[in-house]
């Protein structure tokens, strides 16, 4: 999900995305943010975007999302971590096993296996710490 905020008489100093009151992304010194959320249950969830400006004023907007079916497969590149690792999030059928693979060129790619992933609850995260100086990489997840 993505959210943004603006302040006509100042600057946004903090922007937070929450799902059912739990922070899924906090973006200090920014007016926008992106967070990957994998839902492992059906029903309604409350999504909140909360912004604070340089004068301490806070505003928020809430929307309700109804989850009617779990995603079959979803691979979301979240981004780089402070240690240089690249974070990926995956949603899929609980109990299924996957393998994460990388390539450095497309379309005639040679895919290299980084490792198997056991998807016990429908959600997993992978941190790629290899080749932080590679100019680009392509990722895919395959169900085994």
> What is the DSSP secondary-structure string of the chain?
-EEE---TTS-EEEEEEEETTEEEEEEET-SEEE------S-EEEEEEEEEEETTS-EEEEEEEEEE-S--SEEEEEEEE-TTSPEEEEEEE-TTEEEEEEEESSSSS---EEEEEEEESSSEEEEEE-S-TT-S--EEEEEE-
Domains and CATH numbers, the chain: 2-67 (2.60.40.10), 73-143 (2.60.40)
For 82-139, write each residue's pLDDT tens digit.
777 788 777 777 777 888 888 888 886 789 888 887 777 777 777 888 766 667 788 8
Please tell me whether the overall predicted TM-score, pTM, comes out greater than 0.85 for this model: no
Q: Identify the band that residue 62 occupies on the pLDDT scale cut at 50, 70 and 90.
A: very high
For 7-50, write each residue's pLDDT tens digit.
888 888 888 888 888 888 888 776 666 676 666 566 788 989 89
């Amino acid at each position: 999900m993505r959210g943004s905020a603006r302040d006509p008489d100042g600057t946004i100093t903090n922007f937070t995305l929450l799902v059912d009151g739990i922070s899924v992304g906090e973006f200090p010194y920014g007016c926008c943010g992106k967070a990957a959320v994998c839902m492992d249950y059906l029903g309604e969830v409350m999504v909140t975007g909360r912004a604070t400006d340089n004068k301490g004023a806070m505003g928020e907007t809430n929307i309700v999302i109804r989850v009617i079916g779990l995603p079959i497969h979803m691979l979301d590149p979240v981004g780089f971590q402070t240690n240089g690792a690249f974070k990926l999030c995956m949603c899929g059928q609980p109990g299924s096993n996957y393998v994460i693979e990388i390539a450095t060129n497309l379309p005639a790619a040679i895919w290299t296996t980084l490792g198997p992933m056991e998807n016990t609850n429908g959600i997993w995260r992978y941190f790629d710490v290899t080749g932080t100086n590679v100019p680009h990489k392509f990722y895919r997840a395959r169900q085994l």
